[in-house]
Amino acid sequence: MGLSIVKRSKLIGLLFLTVNSNLIASEPGNKIPAFDREEVEKKVLQMDDLVLKPKFTKAVEGYIRGYVVRNRTTAEKVLGRQVLYFPIFEKKLREKNLPESLKYLSVVESALVPDIVSRASAVGLWQFMDDTGREYGLKINRYIDERCDIIKSTDAALEYLTFLHRKYDDWALAMAAYNSGSGRVSRAIKRARSKNFWRIHRYLPRETRNYIPAFIAASYVLRNHEDHELVPQYPDLDLQITETIPVYNSFTFHQIAQLTSIPLNIIEALNPAYRKGFIPSSRKGNYLTLPKRVMPAFKDFLEAKRPDNLYHAVEASPILVERPSSNSNSYYFKATYIVQEDQSIYTLVKMLKCSPHQLKAWNKLKTNHLKRGQELTIYLPKEIKRLRTYRELIKIEPFDPVPSLDFIEPFTYVPNYKSEEINCEELFKERFLYYDVKKKEKLARIARRLQGISIDELARLNDLPSDYVVKPGTKVKIKRYY
């Protein structure tokens, strides 16, 4: 059941997690802040919300020095990647009622590189071997490797960790078993006659002895990187501001690039689970992640493909989208939001439609508390890409007129990309297509006339019962625009 110990020659010793001399030094000329051992030890021991009680051992100190002294550049890349993956981890951990600090385990496993492969062929953010991945429901074949699927691999890893915690009733032992397999941990417990990791660790393989110190060090650095003047290297906004949907039919990355004008390298980076540059068909659905600014265009295409839709064809560029060198941040503008009252960051992100990690990254926030009058920088797409469709030549009977629709534009102007104060309350209002009711009729009849829209969807959007009779002059919400 356990993961192979052979794979642990991987990322504990890869990139920057090793403590020996093969670590890459920081670039010459960059001044590295002094390492205050006493202060570091104090802050390590203050991390009382970890899943285990932290200790400051020589191994922990060595790993921390590896992050903040010997390989700062790589550490800054890892700090930047957390804005991509930690919101997903935190959501899944909340759903499963697991400690939030388990998210740091993925830093030890993969340095937050979703498609990384170890020398022993362990793969993904959570470094599953083939057998264990399949045992926990991950599909692995020539076309798809769900060990690289951020959502599915996270579900599998948390399920495995939950099983191990139930077995040992101790998170340090559960993580050790995740590293080396439950058999080795159980034998070490028997030999040491103890269930305390620090008492049994001398009976564990060297990689597993270092696993918990590496976890403590990663937790410390991601919480205290400012103290060591580490500057996170955040990915482009197209990788940060994304949306994920399930798709059931097969799509090639080239098709998606043509439909959305997104470069292939962005599509590949956001969808690392697909090995051959296409998404296989699936009854259960495979996940597709795209920049949020172009997802409406892809949804337009899916809607146009429906057999009951009057619009069956889509205009899309026939030009193959290659890998341009342009910065995708140019597709976004920077705006300023002024906090209206003292509040937590978590109450504001719902309105601003971003994650707490994004808001913290964009504004270099160190706390979750916001004060009235505080100015926050947010990034929004300059344009929401939609696909234009054309109607098939069909006959419409005189007694069944085409419904009238009011189209609400998402923006009335394009702000300058430079910092500009805007009215966010107005900007973030929900936009819909509306059906203008000319005469008294039932909601169900409106749904039948507007092909492709179910009565349940119409009732839910308008908060009305399905048998409701709509009065003339009423505007009925048809479909959300953005």
Bridge partners (DSSP) of residue 108 are none
Q: Which residue has the tokens 């080396």?
A: 180
For 26-31, the CB contacts below 8 A with 24+ separation are: 26/69, 26/70, 26/71, 26/72, 26/73, 27/73, 30/72
Asked if 58 and 112 sit in the same domain, the reply is yes
| Nearest by Cα to 270 from 281, 280, 259, 262 | 262
User: Pairing state of beta strands 432-436 and 475-480?
Assistant: antiparallel
Task: List the domain range (segments joined by +) for residue 267.
Answer: 237-324
Q: Are residues 120 and 163 in the same domain?
A: yes
Domain boundary among 294, 324, 354: 324
Q: How many angstroms separate the CA atoms of 163 and 9, rounded? A: 24
Q: Which residues of the chain have pLDDT under 70?
A: 1-30, 306-326, 388-432, 451-452, 479-482
157 shares a domain with 23: yes
pLDDT at 24: 32
User: Mind listing the pLDDT tens digit for each residue in 402-461?
Assistant: 344 444 334 334 444 344 454 554 544 555 677 778 888 888 888 777 766 778 788 888
Q: Are residues 318 and 463 in the same domain?
A: no
Same domain, 209 and 249: no
Domains identified in the chain, total number: 3
Computed over every residue of the chain, the mean pLDDT equals 81
103 and 58 part of one domain: yes
Distances (CA, A) of 120 to 23, 115, 128, 131, 210: 21, 14, 10, 13, 18
Distance CA 216, CA 236 (A): 29
Query: Considering the entire predicted model, what is its pTM?
Result: 0.74
- The pLDDT of residue 451: 61
Strand partners, 287: 246
For 273-287, letters b (16+ CB in 10 Å) and e give bbeeebbbeeeeebb
